[in-house]
Amino acid sequence: MQLIDLKAQYSQLKTKIDARIQTVLDHGQYIMGPEVTELEQKLSNYVGVKHAITCANGTDALQLCMMVLDIKVGDAVFCPTFTFYATAETIGYAGATPIFVESDDESFNICPNDLEKRIQAVIADGKLTPKAIVTVDLFGLPANYGKLQAIAKKYNLKLIEDAAQGFGGDIEGKKAGTFGDLATTSFFPAKPLGCYGDGGAIFTDNDDYASLLKSLRIHGKGANKYDNVRIGINSRLDTIQAAVLLEKLAAFPGELKARNLLASAYEQALGGKNNIKTPKVIRGYGSSWAQYTLVSENRDEIMTNLKCVGIPSMVYYATNMHQQTVFKDLNQDNGTFPIAEKLSKTVFSLPMHPYMTENDLNKIINATIK
């Protein structure tokens, strides 16, 4: 059994994906071929945003946002401490100081109240310039954008939505990828919409940001690649990956339904059992179920039981950003993240993908509540 069964998905989509890849091999436009443009149009339609700009991976997508917003040394950028490293890494790579924020214990997402406190503390301290907030749609559930957008506006901060895990999620039908001034996603194979290698994209309604991004991802190009008007990077999505994604995006709405059915089946079978807390989707919100993440004081015991019968489970994430070696010098490890620290000690994720068999599901449930 796999946490995310990519082979099962491929066996369903094989004919179509193989044909798409063959088309690229036939036309030979491996870099910025027609599939890239086609995918960008389809992504912007699906998400409901004016511009989708693809790039090499989800980390570059965040880095490109930092470049667009001119985030640099002396700036403060706020992000959740309970997240994947790239969220904070790209703030540091830009030269800015990441200011970590506590989690909400129900949604696992950034806590708006704590965010506001930390913004006020940075302002009072006067050493850094508050510039932006990077929110994360952790495990597929959009963050609390009603409150987060109001805070961004109040303090005149840019909002970057890291939807690497959130692609496909929504709030009242408005899709993840539309909630920030800029939003990013990742097409890493295990993400809700994944390719067969690395890939990423940035979403924005802002025309200026979009044209800047199209330059930055190709060596700061002007009229062409050999007319260089700014310092950029080399971060394009391969045409073959775009071809794979076109077929996967077509299958995505059906897969999202299957993920939701699986989440409901888990909820029914596991809710309230064996000292387990199941993930709650807030009313009006939709999750893309990038992970199905449980909380339990008996985590280690349950994970051992699963392992004994050949069922994989994982801890995302055992180490918060404020606890990472690389960020020790920031001295933010001062006991003010009790919720995030508790989560890192009690969360674990079960297999979650759209091609789960009834048999495997029953096996997982039985071993989890044993």
Which residues would be at the binding site for ligand PLP (CB under 6 A)? 57-59, 83-84, 86-87, 136, 162, 164-165, 186, 188, 198, 200
CB of 162 to ligand PLP, least distance (A): 5
List Cβ neighbours of 196 (8 Å cut-off, separation of 6 or more).
Answer: 189, 240, 241, 244
Residue 59 or 97 having the CB closest to ligand PLP? 59
Distance (Å, whole) CA 239 – CA 233:
18
Q: Which residue is nearest to ligand PLP (CB)?
A: 58
Residue 171 or 201 having the CB closest to ligand PLP? 201
CB of 241 to ligand PLP, least distance (A): 11
CB of 330 to ligand PLP, least distance (A): 19
Residue 97 or 165 having the CB closest to ligand PLP? 165
DSSP for 290-327 reads: S-EEEEETTHHHHHHHHHHTT---B-TTSS-GGGSGGG
CB of 184 to ligand PLP, least distance (A): 7
Beta strand extents in the chain (DSSP E only): 51-55, 75-80, 97-101, 129-136, 158-162, 170-171, 174-175, 182-186, 200-204, 276-277, 285-286, 292-296, 347-350
Residue 200 or 351 having the CB closest to ligand PLP? 200
Phi/psi for 205 (5° steps) reads -95, -5
CB of 15 to ligand PLP, least distance (A): 27
Residue 17 or 290 having the CB closest to ligand PLP? 290
Q: Exposed (0-12), middle (13-18) or buried (19+): which is 215, by Cβ within 10 Å?
A: middle
Residue 233 or 265 having the CB closest to ligand PLP? 233
Contact 289, 108 (CB under 8 A): no
Q: Which DSSP state fits 88? A: H
CB of 133 to ligand PLP, least distance (A): 14
DSSP lists the bridge partners of residue 31 as 238
At 328, list the tokens. Answer: 């020790």
